[in-house]
Structure 1
Amino acid sequence: MADTTADSPAANCLEKLKSYVKTQKGFILAAEILISFIIIICYAASMYGGYSAVAICEMVFAIVFFGIFMMEMDKQILVVNWVWTDLFRAGIGAVLYIITSLICVIGGAGDGARIAGGVFGLLAGILFAYDAYTIFLQVKSNRQHTTASTDDNV
């Protein structure tokens, strides 16, 4: 008979998911994934579905970073500077969402789904900008904590 009290890999992954979503970074990434999915639905229902490319790409990138940070692979894969990569992802996502959303809101007369996608896109742009700001503060605090050389012979 199988031992049901032992930790299975799926239960371990689910526990990591639950605990990571409770952190600030996990909550922000989960919100980015959710709002990107809502934007994809809005743009898919509109007459101009081409704007959904930004939402699809940003949702995929957010899912990838969520998985990497949740499973703590950023501490194992040291080839990539994950903090800077995440900063560029969030900054570029904020700029792209704001640009495409303004285009959709301004030129979306008569297409309610496009305007709704644009409004949600503006909210996503603000969320991505907030994420970039929190990452920037993290980078700034890491730079201040590095030790400087105290060698007088230099």
Structure 2
Amino acid sequence: MADTTANSTAANCLDKLKSYVRTPKGFILAAEIILSLIVLICYASSYSGGYTAVAIIEMIVAIIFFIVFMMEFDKQFQVVNWVWSDLIRAAVGAGVYLITSLICVIRGSGDGALIAGGVFGLIAGVVFAYDSYTIYLQIKNTRQHTAASTDDTV
């Protein structure tokens, strides 16, 4: 007899992937992953591939957070504050991408792949900064909705 549970689990995972990419957060994370892959390819094909570590690390961390949020592990593992971790990830990614991309664009004369990687890195930095901003707004809204206790009895 054929095992049908493995096929249904894969279909369930694919359905979760499709539905999560349609959400705003899923779309932003997917864009970060794709831009990091493009930057990685550009940096790797340049004469000096010294900045590939930035793209590799940011892509891997974005994939990890994509999987955590897609499979809703953030609701199961509440030891980690996932929203703040995601904010730190996005803010660091924005800063690192903007700095390294500016360096690559400025010093990349004669190396088209390095300049292209720098330009795509600047776009990735803006996407990471936008992600940081949306996460900040989410944190700000949850803090405003959590009212302090007005109980005067001591």
What TM-score, normalized to structure 2?
0.96
| 1:48 corresponding residue in structure 2 | 48
| 1:124 corresponding residue in structure 2 | 124
| 1:92 corresponding residue in structure 2 | 92
Q: How far apart are the structure 1 equivalents of 2:76 and 2:151?
A: 33
Q: How far apart are the structure 1 equivalents of 2:2 and 2:114?
A: 53
Q: How far apart are the structure 1 equivalents of 2:136 and 2:5?
A: 43
Aligned residues: 154
Runs of 4+ more than 4 Å apart:
1-7
Q: How far apart are the structure 1 equivalents of 2:45 and 2:6?
A: 46
Q: Give unmatched runs, 5+ long, in structure 1.
A: none
| 2:112 corresponding residue in structure 1 | 112
Q: 1:70 aligned to 2:89?
A: no
CA shift digits 1:29-84 (9 cap, x unpaired): 00000000000000011011111110100000000000000000000000000000
Change (3 A) 1:5 1:86: closer
Change (3 A) 1:153 1:7: same
| 2:103 corresponding residue in structure 1 | 103
Q: Give unmatched runs, 5+ long, in structure 2.
A: none
What TM-score, normalized to structure 1?
0.96
* Structure 2 letter corresponding to 1:75: K
Q: How far apart are the structure 1 equivalents of 2:45 and 2:32?
A: 20
